[in-house]
């Protein structure tokens, strides 16, 4: 079984400031890692994913994340945020155990609010 902990439920920042959204996970098997963004009353949009290879992954809208296996973390970063980045961000994992079911286990989300 997997679990995901997003350490901050809310993160307020000013426009053009850097931001880091923290994510830790627990799993008895290897996992794939994801960050999704959700705007109000919308579905989830994939920001970025770690499947294998380089531990620094880049996604859409200038976001990047680094996989740290020893610390079981996958923190999301952006060097300069915009008002339009205001949204709920979800970290998620799926098992990499050779099966076909890549069901996602999500954290509770972090609400990023970018203020002018």
Partner 1 sequence: DTGVSQDPRHKITKRGQNVTFRCDPISEHNRLYWYRQTLGQGPEFLTYFQNEAQLEKSRLLSDRFSAERPKGSFSTLEIQRTEQGDSAMYLCASSRGLPEAFFGQGTRLTVV
Contacts with partner 1 by CB under 8 A lie at 4, 32, 34, 36, 41-46, 49, 51, 90, 92, 94, 96, 100-109
Classify residue 63 as exposed, middle or buried by CB count within 10 Å of its CB (0-12, 13-18, 19+).
Answer: buried
Nearer to partner 1, 82 or 108 (CB): 108
What's the residue count for the chain? 116
In angstroms, the CA 28 to CA 3 distance is 10
Nearer to partner 1, 26 or 45 (CB): 45
Nearer to partner 1, 70 or 100 (CB): 100
Closest CA to 38 of 80, 83, 74, 86: 86
CB of 43 to partner 1, least distance (A): 4
Closest CA to 48 of 28, 21, 13: 21
DSSP H/E element including 108: none
CB of 27 to partner 1, least distance (A): 14
CB of 26 to partner 1, least distance (A): 15
CB of 105 to partner 1, least distance (A): 7
């Amino acid at each position: 079984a997997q679990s995901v902990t997003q350490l901050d439920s809310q993160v307020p920042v000013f426009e053009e400031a850097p931001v880091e959204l923290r994510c830790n996970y627990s799993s008895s098997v290897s996992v794939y890692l994801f960050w999704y963004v959700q705007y109000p009353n919308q579905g989830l949009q994939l920001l970025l994913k770690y499947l294998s290879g380089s531990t620094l992954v880049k996604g859409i809208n200038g976001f990047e994340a680094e996989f740290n296996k020893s610390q079981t973390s996958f923190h999301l970063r952006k060097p300069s945020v915009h008002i339009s980045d205001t949204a709920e961000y979800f970290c998620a994992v799926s098992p990499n155990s050779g099966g076909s079911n890549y069901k996602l286990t999500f954290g509770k989300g972090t609400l990023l609010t970018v203020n002018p």
